[in-house]
Amino acid sequence: MKLEWTAGNRIALLENGEQYYPRVFEAIARARQEVLVETFILFDDEVGRQLHTALLQARANGAEVHVLVDGWGSPDLPPDFIEPLTRAGVQMRAFDPVRRLFGQRINLFRRMHRKLVVTDGQTAFVGGINFSVDHLAESGPKAKQDYAVQIEGPLVAQIRAFCRAALATPQPRRTSWLRRWRAQTGAASGLADPDAGAVAALVTRDNADHRDDIERQYRAALRRARERVIIANAYFFPGYRLLKDLRRAARRGVQVDLILQGAPDMPIVQTAASLLHPHLIRAGVRIHEYCQRPLHGKVATVDDEWATVGSSNLDPTSLGLNLEANVLVRDPAFARLLRERLDALIEEGCSVVKLAPPTRLGSAWIQLRSFFVFHFLRNFPSWIDHLPASEPKVAALQAENP
């Protein structure tokens, strides 16, 4: 999929499940022609049941309804959840349905991690929010902090076409390196008039011709940055090239702020990111840990001009293995709003990471440990590529075999 910028879009920032779910469920429930849903996680809980009700209402309206879940992220939907949907005509599918060996799931890698919704070809939602109750504050201290966008305008047609194609062909085959290079070098051309509404594009990542598209867009934005960069990312352990661009931006005087997990849902996430702290802080990057609850967002804004919201973390699995989707936005009003919300997050819920005075032995150990862990994780996706792997399939999800 070649990156194609379109103008005339209306894009609304949605923060957490409290803002996201009412908009999504309303749009689905009033759909008359078509509903397309892709999600990594769909649970049979309060939120999943509200989606269930909205999908049934769309079918009652006469809409064609397709739901694609990930086989790893949503492995245990019960028959009494699936059967009423399939009986009503909802097309339920799973990406790479879960496979087990001695009761353990074995198909961990190359997941469908996207979160996309399109209704009637008129409204789309893109972000990092799954359909599960842990995206609502009422679920307690483990409730996730996250973001999505609601889109109306020409970009919706692109997102719809992408979702339709994914129903039957989950991952395109690789083409030659020359065709990939030609597609990539043309990716940033043809920008529309920014005065005609928000200029935006859908950027995706797969394991064929778009293996580093999202990372390249982050890096290009960092290289263009002049004043301010804010990146909020739940699982942060990017490769050397993106780290280098972060450091270079800070060294040339750009204020670079990273918001990372301080109350992680998985402790290893904070431990891994901490290995990069000295490397970044000494270059002038400011690191903030969000401590009120787990950060699940994958957003960034640059110079109050450029922004991205989506499903892609900046870690080896998102940048090197999973299927991801982000929206890129070139609109000062939207970029400024996102920056203000992230600044509020820093002010109200973050602590600044500071380096402890190093000891000679401690410093040497940290550097040695960081070296091995960084290069292991950096090369992790390429090692996985060499392991035997079956072609991921999209399969119908049946009540008798969830």
CA atoms within 13 A on the CB side of 303: 13
- pLDDT for position 47: 98
- pLDDT for position 386: 53
User: Is 115 one of the catalytic residues?
Assistant: yes
User: Is 113 one of the catalytic residues?
Assistant: yes
Q: Is the pLDDT of residue 395 over 80?
A: yes
pLDDT tens for each residue of 79-123: 999 999 999 999 999 998 876 665 565 566 689 999 999 999 999
Q: Which two tokens stand for residue 234?
A: 């739940």
Q: What percent of the chain has pLDDT over 70?
A: 80
Distance between CA atoms of 35 and 19, rounded to whole angstroms?
20
Mind spelling out the 3-state secondary structure of the chain?
Answer: CCCCCEEEEEEEEEEHHHHHHHHHHHHHHCCCCEEEEEECCECCCHHHHHHHHHHHHHHHCCCEEEEEEECCCCCCCCHHHHHHHHHHCCEEEEECCCCEECCEECCCCCCECCCEEEECCCEEEEECCCECHHHCHHHCCCCCECEEEEEECCHHHHHHHHHHHHHHCCCCCCCCHHHHHHHHHCCCCCCCCHHHCEEEEEEEECCCCCCCHHHHHHHHHHHHCCCEEEEEECCECCCHHHHHHHHHHHHCCCEEEEEEECCCCCHHHHHHHHCCHHHHHCCCCEEEEECCCCECCEEEEECCCEEEEECCCECHHHHHCCEEEEEEEECHHHHHHHHHHHHHHHHHHEEECCCCCCCHHHHHHHHHHHHHHHHHHHHHHHHHHCCCCCCCCEEECECCEC
Q: What percent of the chain has pLDDT over 90?
A: 67
Q: Which of 146, 303, 304, 315 is catalytic?
A: 303
- pLDDT for position 381: 53
Over range 237-262, report the average pLDDT.
95
pLDDT tens for each residue of 282-296: 999 999 999 999 999
Domain ranges for the chain, please list them: 6-168
Residue 39 CB partners (closer than 8 Å, separation 6+): 67, 68, 69, 70, 73, 74, 114, 115, 116, 130, 131
- pLDDT for position 85: 98
Q: Which of 298, 304, 315, 331 is catalytic?
A: 298
Q: Which of 245, 257, 296, 304 is catalytic?
A: 296
Q: Which of 66, 70, 96, 115 is catalytic?
A: 115
Q: Which of 70, 96, 120, 331 is catalytic?
A: 120
User: Is 279 one of the catalytic residues?
Assistant: no
User: Is 298 one of the catalytic residues?
Assistant: yes
Topology of the domain covering 6-168: Endonuclease; Chain A (3.30.870)
How does the average pLDDT of the chain come out, rounded? 86
Over range 172-178, report the average pLDDT.
46
- pLDDT for position 285: 97
User: Is 146 one of the catalytic residues?
Assistant: no
| pLDDT bucket at 191, cuts 50 / 70 / 90 | very low
Distance between CA atoms of 250 and 226, rounded to whole angstroms?
10
User: Is 296 one of the catalytic residues?
Assistant: yes
Q: Which of 52, 66, 113, 210 is catalytic?
A: 113
